[in-house]
Structure 1
Amino acid sequence: MATEDTAGKSPVGPTLHHLDDSQSQRILWLCEELRIAYGFEYTLVNHFRDKKTIRAPPELQKIHPLGKSPILVAIDGTVITESSVIASYLLKTYDTDGKFATDNWLRDDILVSFSGTSLGLTMTIELFVDIAVSQTPWPLSYIPKALQRSVRNGFTTAEFKKSFTYLEKELGEHDWFNGRELGRSDIIMSWPFDNIGQRGWFDLKKDFPKLGAWRERILNREAWKSAIEKGNGYNMAKL
């Protein structure tokens, strides 16, 4: 099932196909940042997960064979997938004054890649075992719980801490990973930290205060709040 935001619809703007409780929330956030900064116009189409399977609806496969969100359909009809690529396209095409530009493209690429590979892999493993625990009925739930303890003790906890220590150093005294202003690396990095924060895996404010403050700055941005309002739900803890 999908709903269309007619308030954001424009014949001259791209169309964002957005799925509830998914990483496409960060792309919707970026669209809102561009709207506030430049008056950027776009059409938002909200899609909803199947309540039984928690999978994306089949209608997304009509737009792209993988059937995953986010999907951005450009003005010329080009179908763009993968969050980092969509973010790059939006910024290169619509950030005309360089408000969100980076001063160091190599560092930006490293952070974006790190978010989806090193940190992303750890997050995905932790997420899978977390979901397995929540989806397995008693009395069989003791099996995934035992697996979860083993995975955390043997891998994910140490990897998360190593990653957070590295990222705190990268953030330094700046408000944003991009530097003085918000940028692509901040947009992309938000997804794993939303999972970490919403699912309560770490108390970032206590253990990694710079990262905790960075995430709070995101949650307090006007564009973030409007993206949450225009979207169709963003609660990773319920999956």
Structure 2
Amino acid sequence: MAPKITVHWLEDSRAQRILWLLEEVSLASSPSLVLPANRAFVLTQLGLDYEVKRYSRDPKTLLAPKELADVHPLGKSPVVTIVEDGKTLTLAESGAIVEFIVERYGEQLGVPASSSDIQARADYLYWLHWAEGSGMLPLMFSIIFAQLPKQGPWLAKPLLNAVAGGAMGQFVLPRLRENFGFVEKSLAGKDYFAGGKLTGADVMMSFIAEGLEASPLPNDKYPNIFRWYNSVLARSAYKKALEKGGKNDLGRFTR
């Protein structure tokens, strides 16, 4: 029996890349590629059965609704619930979700530990985790400092604007330039982040590219990143995922 997956999808969040991953798994699965319990055959014959449950942000605070806390105690998105063989699993954290789905249902989109190409394996693990580690931190700070003056008391706005502007100029923007410069060099001469093929690492890094697109950095300075990102946008699985979820507008956090 095919697994039943529910993606708890919050608008303008990391959840959209989970939909993309699920669409890629459905397209990539083949009866000739036998996954545990013949899952590849099941996915090919039936399609990956998943449901999207949508949530909207508070228009003023931009925070997730309280209903998400009923799914997972931290109330964040993405969260997936998976029903398989009569058992129900609730899993949060983008990286954990991507790793779980790739290993269990879509091994074609991973680089296994048994791979003879140790560089590909290392690259896969590195970028899979870099996206939510080193890559995400300065992006989150840019959102925090963009929102700080808006969310504070009216009388404090001049001070908060000065604090936020100073932090952005002295700390956040230099880190963003450093990070995206590193990614730009890493993609030189490459179509994908690991092993010369699409993997879960590319899925994880797609949100980082969205962050760059919405950042104050000049996008034309990062041609390799946008060459890769445009190839992602052109994929049929990505387009199908957009139909089921929706395009992120990360600019709403920094405008």
TM class, shorter-length: 0.7 to 0.9
Give the structure 2 partner of residue 108 of structure 1: 124
SS at match of 2:135: helix
- What's the offset of the Cα at 1:135? 5.0
- What's the offset of the Cα at 1:133? 4.5
Question: Can you list the C-alpha shifts for 1:177-206, whole angstroms capped at 9, x where unaligned?
Answer: 123221111111122321220x242233x2
SS at match of 2:12: coil
Give the structure 2 partner of residue 85 of structure 1: 96
Instruction: Choose from 34, 51, 59 the match for 1:51.
Output: 59
- What's the offset of the Cα at 1:84? 0.4
Shift in alpha-carbon separation, 1:52–1:168, aligned structure 2, 3 A: closer
- What's the offset of the Cα at 1:106? 2.5
Within-5 A mapping of 1:1-239: 12-38=3-29, 39-75=47-83, 76-96=87-107, 98=108, 100-102=109-111, 103=117, 104-133=120-149, 141-197=157-213, 199-204=214-219, 206-232=220-246, 234-239=248-253
- Radius of gyration: which is bigger? 2
Letter in 1 for 2:64: A
**Long gaps (5+) in structure 2:** 30-46, 112-116
SS at match of 1:55: coil
Letter in 2 for 1:61: A
SS at match of 1:78: strand
Distance in structure 1 (CA, Å) of the matches to 2:223 and 2:149? 29
Letter in 2 for 1:33: E
The percentage of counterpart residues that share the same residue type is 28
Contact 1:19 1:232 in 2 (8 A): no
Distance in structure 2 (CA, Å) of the matches to 1:134 and 1:35? 42
Shift in alpha-carbon separation, 1:133–1:29, aligned structure 2, 3 A: farther
Shift in alpha-carbon separation, 1:52–1:175, aligned structure 2, 3 A: same
Distance in structure 2 (CA, Å) of the matches to 1:192 and 1:50? 23
Question: Can you list the C-alpha shifts for 1:119-151, whole angstroms capped at 9, x where unaligned?
Answer: 211111111112234556978644343233312
Give the structure 2 partner of residue 4 of structure 1: none
**Long gaps (5+) in structure 1:** 1-9
Distance in structure 2 (CA, Å) of the matches to 1:47 and 1:222? 25
Letter in 1 for 2:20: W
Comparing 165-174 with 142-151, greater Cα deviation is found at 142-151
- What's the offset of the Cα at 1:232? 4.9
SS at match of 1:77: strand
Shift in alpha-carbon separation, 1:12–1:111, aligned structure 2, 3 A: closer
Contact 1:178 1:184 in 2 (8 A): no
- What's the offset of the Cα at 1:11? 7.3
- What's the offset of the Cα at 1:235? 1.1
Distance in structure 1 (CA, Å) of the matches to 2:167 and 2:60? 27
TM-score (norm 2): 0.79
Q: Number of residues paired by the alignment?
A: 226
